[in-house]
Amino acid sequence: MSNPSYDAVVVGSGPNGLAAAIVLQQTGLSVLLLEGKKEIGGGLRTAELTLPGFRHDICSAIHPLAAASPFFQTLPLAQYGLEYITPPVAAAHPFDDGTAAVAASLADTARSLGADANAYQELLGPLVARWPGIANDVLAPLHFPKHPIDMARFGLSALLPATTLARRFAGEKAKGLLAGMAAHAIQPLSNLTTSAIALVLLIAAHRGGWPMPRGGSQAIADALAAHFVALGGRIETGTYVRSLAQLPSAKAVLLDVTPAQLLQMAGHSLSSIYQWQLRRYRYGMGVFKVDWALAEPTPFTAPECAQAGTVHLGNTLKEIAASERVTARGQHAAKPFVLLAQQTLFDATRAPAGRHTAWAYCHVPNGSRVDMATAIEGQVERFAPGFRERILARHTFDTAQMEDYNPNYVGGDINGGLLDIGQLFTRPALRASPYRTSQSGLYLCSSATPPGGGVHGMCGYYAARRALRDVFRLPAPPLQGE
């Protein structure tokens, strides 16, 4: 590790750590970014997990929030080779009868919902139109919004349980589509605020689609890192930080870690009250993930699925809600809700000529070691008969392997902590600023801070902005739209 002193040190090169490092470096400070693995990226890594020539996204795969991030939009990432591919359909939701609902343009989505077309447009139309004015407020810590009336209108629906918001619809297609979106919250759909992630994802689908980076998610991390280095920043990989004592001298330290690692790294220097709060922090359900090398594309019955980068496999609202409910109770669903991505339909760089990949996961109890590959493949086969015959190879991750890959995924929780109403505004602790720790100059910049999980970099941006104000008395670079 370097011996010189720096103005700031950032630990962890996930999207939030990279965002924090860039913000600090943009102001002219000297910044060191440390990464424990040999490669940067955190959840933004791509590798040949199955067979040579088949490139799989290890964690995150589809990136509506990255493309729409108010901070990432301010950066010249295309200059560093980042190119997004946007499938015609953001997400398809097939049903047992061979039909599907789609998240595409607002008009196309409404048409796919039959009798609920008008109800859907009445709900989403105004939110889609107002999104540019409220995006910065939604993807931010708790504060007084710039457009309070528009934000209140969003909040009236967003704070509801998804099962309650679904009552606005009469048919199973609209209810199922909403349920699949809400299941990204990784908690029971009867919980408050589960409608928020559903609405954000649907708005993103209607405004710009759900893009994927050409070549793999690693391309986002590589572009962010290249920009950071071009600004004068320094990156050191293969440096796993277990204690703050390992770090070089710095005026500010920002940690892209969750409370569990923060307690390990700095527990002795934190106040007893803050430690108590961190120990009470709750992690959510984990994931079991499968990557496949395929001889041919996944043969979905519903033709709309062939146009979609993402496919939600769970059938009805009732079935998806039951799957998430039993999993949250510590059981394993026989027919789990499955999120599947099929990148090679749109990006031929990810597999040998004529071959394909698929990427999928389901939710499992935190820390589960149960192999869910058969259950997941059963769900795919249910909506794509003949899928198993096309499998050339598979690679799986259980929750322990996910955590070993990235320690922030405690028990397989890819959101960095449960995003329910109890932790939505107070993650990781109830403080005037969620990014400050009890130790002066030490900040948390991970998804365990607002606005939470997702590849958007906003946790890192706001943590860096806090550090700039507190330590250096400097303003942060403005966000898109400010």
- For 176-217, how does the pLDDT look when each residue is reduced to its tens digit (9 = 90+)? 999 999 999 999 999 999 999 999 999 999 999 999 999 999
462 in the same domain as 451: yes
| Whether residue 104 sits in one domain with residue 42 | no
Picking from 325, 346, 348, the residue whose alpha carbon sits closest to that of residue 336 is 325
Residues 425, 391 share a domain = no
What tens digit of pLDDT does each residue of 152-170 get? Answer: 999 999 999 999 999 999 9
- pLDDT at residue number 364: 98
Rounded to whole angstroms, the Cα distance separating 341 from 309 reads 6
Please, which residues bridge with residue 255 across strands? 11, 444
- Residue 329 maps to which CATH number? 3.90.660
How far apart are alpha carbons 452 and 427 in whole angstroms? 8
User: Taking residues 275-283, what's their average pLDDT?
Assistant: 97
The span from the first CA to the last CA of the chain, in angstroms, equals 38
- 381: Cα separation from own chain's centroid: 26
* Residues 139 and 30 both lie in one domain: no
Confidence of residue 11 (pLDDT cuts 50, 70, 90): very high
Q: Are residues 150 and 204 in the same domain?
A: yes
Lowest mean pLDDT among 222-231, 421-430, 470-479: 421-430
Identify the domain containing residue 441 by its residue range: 6-82+213-281+409-472
Closest CA to 125 of 202, 183, 65, 186: 202
Domain boundary among 405, 428, 461: 405
Residue 463 pLDDT > 80: yes
pLDDT score, position 268: 87
Q: What average pLDDT does this structure show over 348-367?
A: 98
Decide which of 376, 405, 434 is a domain's last residue. 405
pLDDT at site 86: 98
Q: Using one digit for the tens of pLDDT, what is the confidence trace for 99-108?
A: 999 999 999 9
pLDDT over threshold 80, residue 96 = yes
* pLDDT (tens digit per residue) in 306-344: 999 999 999 999 999 999 999 999 999 999 999 999 999
In a domain, 257, yes or no: yes
Q: What is the pLDDT of residue 3?
A: 59
The domain that contains 220 carries what CATH number?
Answer: 3.50.50.60
Residue 332 within any structural domain of the chain? yes
Chosen domain end from 405, 436, 460: 405
Taking the C-alpha atoms of residue 429 and residue 423, their distance in angstroms, rounded to an integer, is: 8
Whether the per-residue pLDDT at 264 is higher than 90: the answer is yes
**Domain shared by 331 and 466, yes or no:** no
Q: Is 255 within the bounds of a domain? A: yes
Q: What is the pLDDT at residue 210?
A: 98
Supply φ then ψ for residue 92, to 5 degrees.
Answer: -110, 145
Whether 127 and 37 share a structural domain: no
22 and 113 inside one domain: no
User: Are 102 and 77 within one domain?
Assistant: no
Same domain assignment for residues 221 and 191 = no
Domain count within the chain: 2
